[in-house]
């Protein structure tokens, strides 16, 4: 059943507009923010903020396989991920799907199945769900297949990462972790490590492979970057081939190099909320305080996005307009999505509606359609003074 577009004016709330919090109404109709008289909903006591844009999240993997030995269908996982994102105020969500030598859910075969599944689900989606491809650098033999899939399924965002040395070091120091990765991929530890060593033998061909991919991504209009840069030299190398987005630099020099050459830096929101990296990498809050971060992403936990913005406010790092821009306006600019990220007339009506007292996200609107509604906000919408007008939409 196709969803309808309500036409509403939201009144009484505090709205983030033009970089500041303002007391004013906001109207939307036919999926766009607009001006004009419309049926009103009183949202006194609420914040109306631009919809959250998440450029990297892998929480969907838990919906695919809540346990390594208990996989669920892709359609089920997409529906659960969709609802998860909407309940946390996310209006555009990039799911970070690996294209890797690791096998299992991170293999090229499965990545293509995810692309097919998302294409089939998209017409039913609440959230604007998209796929980001995390391409391992040592996948040289799959280049033609990757480019064909990117073009066929309209993939518009790719990041490169190289986890070869990290995996080999982990095998020496924490072999039980590698055994767990192997089980998740449906492999024995011995077969998994043999795969790693086979991938490493491609090292001589990797630079040429990445340059060829970069050239084709430019021709296709694909945005691309790198993931987990450990140092400035690595970031400089990726920047030179056109992979300008610096996602999760693991140390300050990588972020500083990105800033020096004008490359946007993305950090994980859970890192901010928890007060540091769960894997021992650089503190996201420190990178933000130093002016080296352009956006925050969910990483593995959707609730952390809004929580991180409010945490930065509470800790005195920045005010709410600047903090919220890290999860709305700036990600939109990084991925060149000119129709969202701000609450301006003519843009998509993508809204995150927050209870100002509890900071709970009680409503989410995507392209003018209500995708999540709970708490007191639900009562306000359903007990609008114009119930007949609302029912007619």
125 & 158 share domain: yes
Average pLDDT of the segment spanning 342-364: 98
328 & 218 share domain: yes
Nearest to 347 by CA among 40, 30, 39: 30
Q: 148 and 140 in contact (C-beta within 8 Å)?
A: no
* Confidence band, pLDDT 50/70/90 cuts, at residue 385: low
In the listed set 284, 310, 334, which residue is the last one of a domain according to the structure?
Answer: 334
End-to-end Cα, the chain, rounded Å: 14
Beta-strand (E) ranges in the chain?
A: 8-11, 14-17, 20-23, 26-29, 32-34, 40-42, 46-50, 52-57, 90-99, 128-136, 157-161, 223-227, 245-247, 265-268, 295-297, 351-355, 361-366, 369-373
Task: Indicate the burial class of 20 (C-beta count within 10 angstroms; 0-12, 13-18, 19 or more).
Answer: exposed
pTM of the predicted protein model:
0.93
188 & 90 share domain: yes
pLDDT at 109 over 60: yes
Average pLDDT of the segment spanning 243-262: 97
Domain contains 140 = yes
Percent of the chain with pLDDT over 70: 96
Domain contains 237 = yes
61 & 159 share domain: yes
- Give the model's pLDDT for residue 393: 32
pLDDT tens column, 296-310: 999 999 999 999 999
293 & 234 share domain: yes
Average pLDDT of the segment spanning 224-251: 97
In the listed set 334, 354, 381, which residue is the last one of a domain according to the structure?
Answer: 334
Domain contains 204 = yes
CATH number at 213 reads 3.20.20.140
- Give the model's pLDDT for residue 29: 96
- 124's tokens: 């039913």
33 & 65 share domain: no
Structural domain count of the chain: 2
128 & 96 share domain: yes
C-alpha 341/C-alpha 331 separation (Å) is 8
What angle do the packed helices 143-152 and 108-121 form, to 10 degrees?
0
Domain contains 1 = no
42 & 127 share domain: no
The secondary structure of residue 3, as a DSSP letter, is: P
Domain contains 3 = no
* Confidence band, pLDDT 50/70/90 cuts, at residue 390: very low
Percent of the chain with pLDDT over 90: 81
pLDDT tens column, 266-323: 999 999 999 977 767 899 999 999 999 999 999 999 999 999 999 999 999 999 999 9
92 & 192 share domain: yes
- 62's tokens: 């838990």
- Give the model's pLDDT for residue 2: 60
For residue 165, give its domain range: 52-334
What element of type H or E holds 306?
helix 304-314
Average pLDDT of the segment spanning 343-370: 97
In the listed set 314, 334, 354, which residue is the last one of a domain according to the structure?
Answer: 334
Domain contains 30 = yes
218 & 267 share domain: yes
Domain contains 15 = yes
C-alpha 104/C-alpha 166 separation (Å) is 19
Residues of the chain by 3-state class (helix, strand, coil), percent to 5: 45, 25, 35
* Confidence band, pLDDT 50/70/90 cuts, at residue 167: confident
Looking at per-residue pLDDT, the higher value among 230 and 164 belongs to: 230
246 & 330 share domain: yes
Average pLDDT value for the chain: 93
315 & 366 share domain: no
Could you tell me which residues are beta bridge partners of residue 92? 53, 128
């Amino acid at each position: 059943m196709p969803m309808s577009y309500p036409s509403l004016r939201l009144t009484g709330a505090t709205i983030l507009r033009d970089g500041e919090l303002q007391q004013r109404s906001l109207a939307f109709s036919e999926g766009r923010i607009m001006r004009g008289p419309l049926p009103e909903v009183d949202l006194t006591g609420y914040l109306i903020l631009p919809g959250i844009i998440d450029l990297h999240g892998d929480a969907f993997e838990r919906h695919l396989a809540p346990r390594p030995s208990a996989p669920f269908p892709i359609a089920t996982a997409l529906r659960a991920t969709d609802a998860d994102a909407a309940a946390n105020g996310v209006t555009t969500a990039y799911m970070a799907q690996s294209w890797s030598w690791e096998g299992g859910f991170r293999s090229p075969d499965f990545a293509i199945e995810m692309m097919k599944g998302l294409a089939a689900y998209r017409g039913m989606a609440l959230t604007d769900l998209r796929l980001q491809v995390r391409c391992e650098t040592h996948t040289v033999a799959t280049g033609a297949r990757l480019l064909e899939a990117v073009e066929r399924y309209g993939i518009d965002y790719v990041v490169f990462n190289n986890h070869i040395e990290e995996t080999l070091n982990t095998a020496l120091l924490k072999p039980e972790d590698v055994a767990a990765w192997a089980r998740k991929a449906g492999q024995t530890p011995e077969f998994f490590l043999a795969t790693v060593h086979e991938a490493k033998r491609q090292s001589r061909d990797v630079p040429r492979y990445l340059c060829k991919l970069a050239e084709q991504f430019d021709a296709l209009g694909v945005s691309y970057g790198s993931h987990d840069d450990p140092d400035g030299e690595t970031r400089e190398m990726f920047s030179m081939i056109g992979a300008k987005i610096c996602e999760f630099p693991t140390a300050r020099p990588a972020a500083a190099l990105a800033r020096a050459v004008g490359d946007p830096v993305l950090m994980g929101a859970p890192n901010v909320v928890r007060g540091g990296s769960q894997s021992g990498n650089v503190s996201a809050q420190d990178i933000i305080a130093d002016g080296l971060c352009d956006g925050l992403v969910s990483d593995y936990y959707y609730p952390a996005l809004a929580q991180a913005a409010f945490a930065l406010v509470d800790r005195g790092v920045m005010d709410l307009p600047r903090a919220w821009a890290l999860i709305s306006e700036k990600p939109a600019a990084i991925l060149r999505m000119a129709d969202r990220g701000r609450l301006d007339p003519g843009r998509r009506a993508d809204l995150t509606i927050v209870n100002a007292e509890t900071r709970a996200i009680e409503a989410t609107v995507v392209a003018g359609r209500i995708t999540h509604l709970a708490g007191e906000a639900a009562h306000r919408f359903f007990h609008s003074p114009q119930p007949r007008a609302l029912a007619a939409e």
